[in-house]
């Protein structure tokens, strides 16, 4: 059973989230917290709450799917409870990794934040230069959280087509979409067993929860339409099925960079037989796709992998329903 709590932000939603995560860290007795980074070279693993000030889960940039490194982190940090702070697609990847028995998700303290969308790295740098700082872009994104974020066409293709941008699957889900974030944000708790009254500003008004749910439904519908429109426009050049996709893999070369960037391939890499990827391995890979778009972001040929994989995955799902 989940419970909903509120954080009063007093005009500083990021600061309020920092304070809440710090309080939850202390209350849960975490040894470390794994976080998404917003700059190359930034540490993914914090061992002290003092480092939270540098963490920005709302910055519209995704350099990698953080779930990818969690199995290795857990090997290094075997004792004590570990927390993870993730975006929704990273949380989905973590659950997929856990399904393969590589980690025990229930041993982690998971926190997830609503995602406002992310830019390609080069475009973020360009926009940050115009805005004066990357923090300015975060502020701009949060400013439009009540409307569900800035127009999606500005963001990476994966974000434009993401139908699950809300935080819903973690122990603690921090909601901002559809909400007046300069006044308050929502904390939806599914697990954790902490004294939430002590580390939040009290129970949330049910109307606040309903407002967010309405926005999440609108965004899902909007992004579904975008996905269908893109697929329709590219139908002639998209692989028709898994076999056509395997042919494309053979033709695009053997760099495997898209697989190296994928969090699922970290624990279950598609195998090859006589230079061709095994059909069943690719089907398993596509069925597990969490839509983070790291494959497309890493592709040296700039192939539209997000829509290619989404399209083929839909073909597989339709075949299973027949």
Q: Residues 14-40: pLDDT tens digits?
A: 999 999 999 999 999 999 999 998 777
148 or 188, higher pLDDT: 188
| pLDDT > 90? residue 315 | no
Q: Counting runs of H as helices and runs of E as strands, what totals does the chain give?
A: 13, 9
pLDDT at 207: 96
Strand pairing class (81-86; 30-34)? parallel
| pLDDT > 70? residue 90 | yes
Work out the average pLDDT over 243-249: 83
122 or 298, higher pLDDT: 298
CA dihedral 127, 133, 136, 141 (to 10 degrees): 40
pLDDT band at 321 (very low <50, low <70, confident <90, very high): low
109, 83 contact by CB (below 8 A): yes
| pLDDT > 90? residue 193 | no
pLDDT band at 322 (very low <50, low <70, confident <90, very high): very low
pLDDT at 235: 87
> What is the C-alpha to C-alpha distance for residues 206 and 259, in angstroms, rounded to an integer?
42
212 or 131, higher pLDDT: 212
Average pLDDT over all residues of the chain: 91
| pLDDT > 50? residue 184 | yes
Which of 43-47, 137-141, 144-148, 214-218 shows the highest mean pLDDT? 214-218
Choice among 99-108, 130-139, 142-151 with the minimum mean pLDDT: 130-139
> What is the C-alpha to C-alpha distance for residues 36 and 230, in angstroms, rounded to an integer?
29
> What is the C-alpha to C-alpha distance for residues 17 and 57, in angstroms, rounded to an integer?
9
For residue 77, the 8-state DSSP code is -
Work out the average pLDDT over 82-92: 97
pLDDT band at 152 (very low <50, low <70, confident <90, very high): low
Work out the average pLDDT over 44-57: 94
* Cα angle 183, 187, 189; round to 5: 165
pLDDT band at 194 (very low <50, low <70, confident <90, very high): very high
> What is the C-alpha to C-alpha distance for residues 230 and 124, in angstroms, rounded to an integer?
23
| pLDDT > 90? residue 129 | no
User: Helix axis angle, 206-234 relative to 305-321, nearest 10°?
Assistant: 100
> What is the C-alpha to C-alpha distance for residues 156 and 170, in angstroms, rounded to an integer?
24
Choice among 61-70, 189-198, 220-229 with the minimum mean pLDDT: 189-198
142, 58 contact by CB (below 8 A): yes
Q: Three-class SS of residue 103?
A: coil
319 or 307, higher pLDDT: 307
> What is the C-alpha to C-alpha distance for residues 310 and 128, in angstroms, rounded to an integer?
30
| pLDDT > 70? residue 253 | no
Percent of the chain with pLDDT over 70: 98
Long-range contacts of 250-256 (CB under 8 A, 24+ apart): 250/275, 250/276, 252/301, 252/303, 253/301, 255/300
> What is the C-alpha to C-alpha distance for residues 175 and 38, in angstroms, rounded to an integer?
20
Work out the average pLDDT over 101-128: 90
Tell me phi and psi for residue 61, to 5 degrees: -150, 135
Q: Break the chain into its structural domains and give their ranges.
A: 3-229, 235-321
pLDDT band at 70 (very low <50, low <70, confident <90, very high): very high
Percent of the chain with pLDDT over 90: 68
> What is the C-alpha to C-alpha distance for residues 186 and 133, in angstroms, rounded to an integer?
27
Ramachandran quadrant class, 302 (left: phi over 0; alpha: psi -120 to 50; beta: rest): left
Work out the average pLDDT over 75-79: 82
Element (H, E) at 280: helix 279-287
Work out the average pLDDT over 204-231: 95
């Amino acid at each position: 059973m989940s419970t909903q709590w509120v954080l009063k932000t007093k005009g500083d939603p990021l600061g309020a989230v920092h304070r809440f995560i710090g309080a939850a860290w202390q209350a849960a007795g975490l040894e470390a917290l794994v976080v998404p980074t917003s700059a190359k070279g930034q540490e993914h693993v914090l061992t002290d709450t003092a480092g939270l000030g540098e963490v920005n889960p709302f910055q519209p940039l995704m350099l990698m799917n953080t779930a990818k490194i969690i199995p290795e982190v857990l090997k290094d940090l075997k004792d004590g409870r570990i927390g993870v702070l993730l975006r929704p697609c990273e949380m989905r990847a973590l659950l997929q990794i856990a399904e393969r028995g590589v980690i025990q998700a229930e041993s982690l303290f998971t926190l997830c934040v609503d995602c406002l969308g992310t830019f390609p790295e080069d475009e973020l740098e360009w926009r940050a230069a115009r805005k004066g700082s990357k923090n300015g872009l975060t502020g701009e994104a949060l400013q439009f959280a009540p409307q569900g974020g800035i127009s999606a066409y500005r963001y990476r293709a994966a974000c434009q087509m993401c139908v699950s941008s809300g935080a819903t699957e973690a122990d603690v889900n921090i909601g901002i979409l559809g909400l007046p974030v300069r006044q308050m944000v929502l904390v939806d708790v599914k697990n954790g067993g902490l004294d939430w009254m002590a580390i939040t500003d009290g129970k949330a008004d049910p109307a606040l929860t309903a407002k967010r749910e309405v926005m999440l439904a609108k965004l899902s519908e909007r992004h579904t339409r975008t996905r269908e429109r893109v697929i329709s426009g590219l139908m002639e050049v998209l692989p028709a099925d898994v076999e056509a996709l395997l042919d494309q893999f053979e033709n695009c070369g053997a760099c495997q960079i898209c697989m190296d960037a994928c969090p699922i391939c970290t624990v279950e890499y598609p195998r090859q037989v006589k230079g061709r990827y095994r059909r069943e391995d690719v089907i398993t890979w596509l069925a597990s796709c969490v839509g983070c778009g790291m494959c497309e972001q890493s592709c040296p040929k700039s192939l539209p992998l997000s829509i290619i994989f989404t399209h083929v995955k839909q073909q597989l799902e339709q075949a299973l329903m027949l």
